[in-house]
Structure formats: C-alpha cells, structure tokens
C-alpha cells in the first residue's frame, strides 16, 4: 500500500529533492531552491564531491537511479522531486539506462507519496520517424514518470544557452576555433533554444503550480533559429568573421573533427547531441505562455547574457 504523504502545508518544512544535482541545470537550480523556504535534498552518487558546493543546511544523500534500493530513503518525506537525470555520458546503451533509471525513480516516488515530479526533457515531434535516439529517450522518460501516477510537470526544451551548457559550448568552440566550417545542410534545421535563466525560472515556478494533473510544456526563445544561425549570431557578437560551407551530410569524419573540440569526458554526450541536429526542435504548443508569467528572452539576448557571464 502506498504510504500517505505528509500533508503539512508549512513551506518551511517541505522537502524538495533534486536528482541530477551535479549536472549543469541541477547545479544552477540548487542555490535558487536554497534561497526559498523549505528543505533541499540532493541525490548524489558521490555525496562527498557534491557537499562543498551546497549550503550546510542542504541535505546530500547517497543514491543512484540505477540502484533501486538507494531511492526509498532519499525520497522519504519529499513533496516535490526534480528529475534532471540524463544518462548519455557512458559508452553503454543510454536508452536502456534512461528507461531503467526513470522506472526506478517513478516507482520509488510512488511508494514515498511524492506529490509532484518536475522533469526537464527535450523538444521534438513524437510523430517524426527519424527522431534521434537522444530525443526519443527524453520523451520516453517523461512517459514513464507520468505513468507512475505521480503528478508530473514536464518541460521540453531544445539547446540551453548558457555558460557551461555542453550544447552551447559546442556552438561556442566551433565558432571560436574554425574560421571556415563544413556543415551539413540540416545545420539549417529549425530549432528554438532557450536561455538557462529562463529554464530555471520555469523549473522554480512549476514547484508552486496548483495541483492539476500531469502536464507537458514546450519552452523556448520567442523566435526560431538554427544551429547555423546561432553560430552566426555568436560570431557577430564576438566580432568574428565565419564562413559556413554546406555539404550534403555530416560524415563520421566531419563529426569526429567537431567532437575533437569537446573534452574527452563530454565526447559521448556530444556525439548524441550532434545526431539530433537533423530533427526540428521548435515550440509547437505555447501553453507555457498562458500558464506561467515568464517571457523568455530572445536568442540574441540569451547569447549576450551567456557571453556576459563568461567575461564577468
């Protein structure tokens, strides 16, 4: 039988768990949660590594979404759980790992009586038969969390523009280091990126949404662009002249040249991100603008903000 959740409405005692606390978005979200009333708890495979980066009042508990028995204690008493886990960094079957991790987490959240799961996934059309494994897996994770019966708020986003974002860092390094770029034609595929500050604003706001069942929101800058467009805008703002030469396909050789620009630790993630460049990732459902007061900044403003954070 599912335990009865703690119905205390005292915001000072409400527990919020962050799974994926050591990731890019999770690491930026934690200080914002720490500034709000309530208890922040972080799930970490290596608590000692995370502990110096959070407040003394923040709980850091050992756990791994691929180890089911480690999750029950971590989720006990939790009202809201953020699921910011992406398992693309290893050389194995990340789709299987994503599926297993989400299933374990969903079951443990159900047993613990968690009221709401907030999940950050990816844009992309479910009906697209050529949807990349990365985007397909992001959508499947959302489906698994919703199927648990725990109210799930899923945000679907494209490339996150911000200092430290691997996908934006790839755009940045390509532009910084390559005056002439051989690019596949689908580098002009439409995409609607989003500033990391806007992602964080949505994630925070979702915690205080009135109960209303599981919902999925597509989020992004107000205008669509392309990866080529982002390269050109980044080059414009940094005073660089860059030439993009279109080729029919992205060959393994060309992909390897691009990936040589990222760190070895990020190689696998970068490979999966590049595979997804062929899929349009645009906002088709604008319900987020009706539900939340957040008005995302433009692509130009988001890149300008990221550059300011880099030099500041």
259 by DSSP, 3-state: which? helix
Phi-psi region of 194 (alpha: psi -120 to 50; beta: other; left: phi over 0): beta
Q: Where are the domains of the chain?
A: 15-160+195-221+282-296
pTM score, two decimals? 0.90
191 by DSSP, 3-state: which? strand
Average pLDDT of adjacent 10-residue blocks, the chain of 312 residues: 47 92 95 97 95 96 96 96 81 84 98 97 91 91 97 96 87 82 78 97 97 96 93 94 78 60 53 71 96 98 90 50
Check residue 260 and give its pLDDT: 63
Check residue 200 and give its pLDDT: 98
95 by DSSP, 3-state: which? helix
Check residue 240 and give its pLDDT: 92
- Whether the CB-CB separation of 268 and 91 falls below 8 Å is answered with yes
Q: How far is CA 124 from the centre of its chain?
A: 14
Q: How far is CA 304 from the centre of its chain?
A: 21
The residue ranges of DSSP E strands in the chain, in sequence order, are: 15-19, 39-44, 59-62, 78-83, 116-122, 151-157, 160-161, 180-184, 194-195, 215-218, 243-247
Check residue 9 and give its pLDDT: 64
Largest CA distance in the chain: 64
CATH homologous superfamily of 15-160+195-221+282-296 equals: NAD(P)-binding Rossmann-like Domain (3.40.50.720)
């Amino acid at each position: 039988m599912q335990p009865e959740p703690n119905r205390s409405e005292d915001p000072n005692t409400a527990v919020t768990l962050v799974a994926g606390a050591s990731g890019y978005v999770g690491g930026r979200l934690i200080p914002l949660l720490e500034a709000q009333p309530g208890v922040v708890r972080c799930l970490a495979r290596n608590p000692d590594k995370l502990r110096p980066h959070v407040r003394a009042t923040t709980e850091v508990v050992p756990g791994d979404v691929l180890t089911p028995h480690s999750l029950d204690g971590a989720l006990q008493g939790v009202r809201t759980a953020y699921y910011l886990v992406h398992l693309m960094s290893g050389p194995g079957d990340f789709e299987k790992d994503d599926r297993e991790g989400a299933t374990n987490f969903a079951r443990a959240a159900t047993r613990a009586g968690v009221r709401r799961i907030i999940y950050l996934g990816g844009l992309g059309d479910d009906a697209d038969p050529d949807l990349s494994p990365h985007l397909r897996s992001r959508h499947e994770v959302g489906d698994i969390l919703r199927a648990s019966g725990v109210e799930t708020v899923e945000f679907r986003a494209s490339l996150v523009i911000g200092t430290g974002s691997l996908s934006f860092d790839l755009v940045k390094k390509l532009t910084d280091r390559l005056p002439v770029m051989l690019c596949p034609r689908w580098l002009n595929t439409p995409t609607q990126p989003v500033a990391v500050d806007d992602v964080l604003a949505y994630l925070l706001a979702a915690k205080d949404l009135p109960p209303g069942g599981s919902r999925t929101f597509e989020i992004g800058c107000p205008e669509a662009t392309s990866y080529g467009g982002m390269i050109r805008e980044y080059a414009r703002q940094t005073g660089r002249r860059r030439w993009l030469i279109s080729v029919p396909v992205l060959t393994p050789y060309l992909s390897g040249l691009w990936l040589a620009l990222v760190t070895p630790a990020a190689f696998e993630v970068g490979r999966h991100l590049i595979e997804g460049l062929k899929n349009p990732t645009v906002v088709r459902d604008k319900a987020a603008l009706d539900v939340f007061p957040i008005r995302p900044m433009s692509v130009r403003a988001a890149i300008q903000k990221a550059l300011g954070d880099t030099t500041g």
